[in-house]
């Protein structure tokens, strides 16, 4: 008699999640699990990596997100096509006082920072649920940028620009129909095509 039990399906690893500096193991696992579930992709967690020293901007007491992305980009190895860094440090880019995360449009690397996600606009500490939702939203948003998605005009789409945590809190952990379609088409391209 034939055994009809289904074999488990193992997704080819596509995205690696890298803890940077003091990133917590819980945050890294939450981000990895949500990337795998939302994008239906194989995800693996890399060994912890120190933050690049050259990324620290002493005058701003922040880390240059572009330098962190260059560090991550150099870490991409097959079979992974993308890398997502998770960090606790305050990130910035020249034109903004801070960023929750950063990615190069169509690039291989993205980063999310928990630094400003733990506090509400009123200065009080956010609940663990609110904090976790913020972390997931920023991670998914930034990773979608690496798949060529730009900011979306739809205020109910995860790709909508959110400069403050209260804006981030209003977003669902969902992409609008248009962005979801674009992501699905893009992830299905064969390896080596982006």
Which string of DSSP letters, residue by residue, matches 126-157?
PPHHHHHHHHHHHHHHHHHHTTT----S-TTS
Q: Considering only 117-131, 147-161, 172-186, which range has the smallest mean pLDDT?
A: 172-186
Q: How many domains does the chain have?
A: 1
Average pLDDT over residues 10-20: 82
- Specify the length of the chain in residues: 194
- Looking up tokens 């890399």 gives 46
Residue 130 lies in a domain: yes
Catalytic residues: 142
Is the pLDDT reported for residue 10 higher than 70? Answer: no
On average, the pLDDT of the chain sits at: 90
CB hemisphere CA count around 121 (13 angstroms): 8
> In the prediction, which pLDDT does 193 show?
47
Tokens of 153: 């005009």
Half-sphere exposure of 98 toward its Cβ, with a 13 Å CA cutoff? 16
Question: Mean per-residue pLDDT for 143-169?
Answer: 95
Q: Answer yes or no: is 41 within a domain.
A: yes
Residue ranges making up the domain that contains 94: 15-151
Block residue for tokens 């939702």 = 133
Percent of the chain's residues with pLDDT above 90: 78
Q: What CATH number does the domain containing 79 carry?
A: 3.40.390.10
> Does 61 fall in a domain?
yes
Predicted confidence band of residue 191 (pLDDT cuts 50, 70, 90): low
**Pair of tokens at residue 6:** 């289904």
Task: Write down the pTM of the prediction.
Answer: 0.89
pLDDT at 14: 87
In a domain? residue 123: yes
Q: Is residue 81 part of a domain?
A: yes
**Phi, psi at 25, each rounded to 5°:** -65, -35
pLDDT on residue 187: 61
User: Quick check: 138 and 100 in contact, CB under 8 A?
Assistant: yes
Whether residue 127 lies inside any domain: the answer is yes
Answer whether residue 6 shows pLDDT above 80. no
Q: Tell me whether residue 8 is in a domain.
A: no
pLDDT at 91 over 60: yes
pLDDT given for residue 194 in this prediction:
45
Q: What is the pLDDT of residue 186?
A: 61
- pLDDT tens, position by position, 29-64: 999 999 999 988 899 999 999 999 999 999 999 999
Q: Which of 5, 76, 84 is CA-nearest to residue 38? A: 84
Residue 103 lies in a domain: yes
Measured CA to CA, the distance from residue 20 to residue 56 in angstroms comes to 13
Evaluate the CA torsion angle 57, 63, 65, 66 in order and state its sign: positive
């Amino acid at each position: 008699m034939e055994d009809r039990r289904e074999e488990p399906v193992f997704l080819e690893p596509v995205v690696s999640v890298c803890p940077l500096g003091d990133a917590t193991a819980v945050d890294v696992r939450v981000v990895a699990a949500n990337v795998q579930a939302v994008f239906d992709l194989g995800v693996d967690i890399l060994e912890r990596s120190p933050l690049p020293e050259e990324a620290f901007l002493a005058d701003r007491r922040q880390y240059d997100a572009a330098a962190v992305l260059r560090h991550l980009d150099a870490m991409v190895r097959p079979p992974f096509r993308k890398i997502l860094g998770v960090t606790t440090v305050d990130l910035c880019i020249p034109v903004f006082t801070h960023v929750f995360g950063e990615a190069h449009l169509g690039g291989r690397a993205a980063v999310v920072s928990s630094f400003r996600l733990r506090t509400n606009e009123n200065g009080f500490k956010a609940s663990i649920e609110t904090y976790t939702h913020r972390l997931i939203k920023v991670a998914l948003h930034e990773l979608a940028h690496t798949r060529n998605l730009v900011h979306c005009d739809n205020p109910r789409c995860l790709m909508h620009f959110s400069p403050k945590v209260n804006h981030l809190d209003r977003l669902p952990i969902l992409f609008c129909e248009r962005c979801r379609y674009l992501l699905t088409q893009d992830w299905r391209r064969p390896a080596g095509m982006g």
